[in-house]
Every structure is written in structure tokens, then in C-alpha cells.
Amino acid sequence: MPTKAYLLLLSFILCLFIKITISTKIWTPISFARNYFLMSVLSLVSWNIDGLGDDLAPRMDAVYNVLKNIEPNVIFLQEVVRSVIGSLERLRESYEIFYSDRSCRYFTAILVKKPFNFLKHNVHAFENSKMARTLQTIEGELGSMKVFLLTTHLESLGENKKERKAQLDYCLQKMKEIAENNPDAVVFFGGDLNIREKEMPELPAGVKDAFLEAGSPKDERFTWDTQKNHNKFAGQAQIRFDRILWTGPLQIVSFKLEGRERLQTVDCFPSDHWAINCTFSAP
């Protein structure tokens, strides 16, 4: 049988371990497993939710339900308007939510699943934009992984390709700078780039396109598809406007489109864009 002195010593050691763990944030087995998972697997959804379209209330309820069902670690949203903030704020119980410029007619949002160690938030307004477009950047930590999250909604319409290409060049340069200064971090950039294939520049070294790296799945290519999605109009246009680019230690990606279930009550889809749903993992 253990002696009384032995039990007292064991109790003292246990109390000391608990105190050190709390004060120094040493990982317990449970927190270690949680942090390892966050470090090795990360899911991201990007979606232009068409806040300027008709049937806004039922469509935003559908957007909320899609996002709630997927529950990704990170969400990029474009074409957010003030009237839908209430719907998005329902996700605040599980997410930190950051907006670009809510004084604009429409803007972007970044949602990051808790727990998230927020470090910096920046909104860069493109000087050449006629449409108040911006690049929104979040710096922080998910578990033990340093992350940079960049989303944008680049200049729309074919006649604005000069402005759009210059904006994309700026975003890629910013992505490159962040990666070079933070070699162990993962950097995600994406959103509604409004980009046509012939406008797409060569990507910086180490930067990858999630769709291409996932094997270019045929049925997941077009995020704006007027042959299947008639929210705006029925036509022949099929374009990969929306993209996710990334660099960092998470090398494996799966890719699929979401939001493709028609709402029976209003006979339309949640948005005129499909949502991108990616899961990134370590080798």
C-alpha cells in the first residue's frame, strides 16, 4: 500500500502539472488531437451569394442552411448586402465574422470557425475600381497553424477586363509576399474573380488552383452556369468565375460545388453562382 507521504507527493506533483499546463498552455492529449486536426485538415467554402438579386429572404435562408450543414473552417462570401447581415449573424455562435466595407452597396465577408486566434484585419480598396471593389485580408491562427485568408470580388463585366486583370495581379503579388514572409503558414486567396480563362495570368511559384489540383472534375468546373442556373437568365454561358488559390503545407485538396438544389417555394437556386467547397489536408 502507498504510504501517506507518497500520496501527498503524488498529489503535489499532479497539482503542479495542472498549474503549469494552465499557465503555459501545454497541450493535453485532447487539445493536442484537436490542434493536430486543425493543423492537418482545413475546409473552406467560397460563395457569391447574390445579395442584389430577387427573392432575397428565402434565398438567404437557403444560404444559411447550406453553410450550417457544411460547417467549414473558413467561409468567403461576396456580394453581401446590409439587409442580409442579420441572416449571416446567426452563424456568429460558431464563427468569427469580418466584413470589408459595410458602407458600400455590397461587400465581402470572411467567417472563421471558432476557436480562432485573430491577429490582423485589413481591407485594401482597389484604386482603379469603378465598383468599390476591395481585397479583404485576415491573419490569425487555427490551432497551431498560421493562416492568411484573402477574399475579393473583382471588377465585373467584359469591358472592365483591364481593371480586373490589374486587381488580380495585385492580389497574387500580395499572396506571394505573404507566403515569402511566412514560409510555414498556409495562405488562401479566392472569391468571385470574374476572370475569363484567357485573362488568367501564370500563378506565382508554389501557388496552386484548387480545382486543377483536385483533378479538374468535369461536373464541378463552372461556378456560373446559365445552362443549369436560371436565376439571372437562361443562356449558354458556362464560366469558372469563382476560384480558390492557395499555398502552404496543406498539399492535398478535394473540390466540389454546393448550392445546386432548387428552392421549390420560389423556383430558383440560393444564388446565381454555385458555392465552392474545398477540403485541404497534409500529405
Catalytic annotation, residues: 192
Residue 5 C-alpha from the chain's centroid? 56
Alpha-carbon radius of gyration of the chain:
22
Q: List the one residue out of 127, 143, 144, 126 whose CA is nearest residue 135.
A: 126
Helix (H) / strand (E) containing 67: helix 56-70
Residues 121/137, Cβ–Cβ less than 8 Å: yes
Task: Render 94-145 in DSSP notation, one character per residue.
Answer: TEEEEES-TTSSSEEEEEEESS-EEEEEEEEEPTT-SS--EEEEEEEEETTE
What is the strand order of the sheet 208-209 is part of? 117-125, 134-142, 145-153, 186-192, 242-247, 208-209
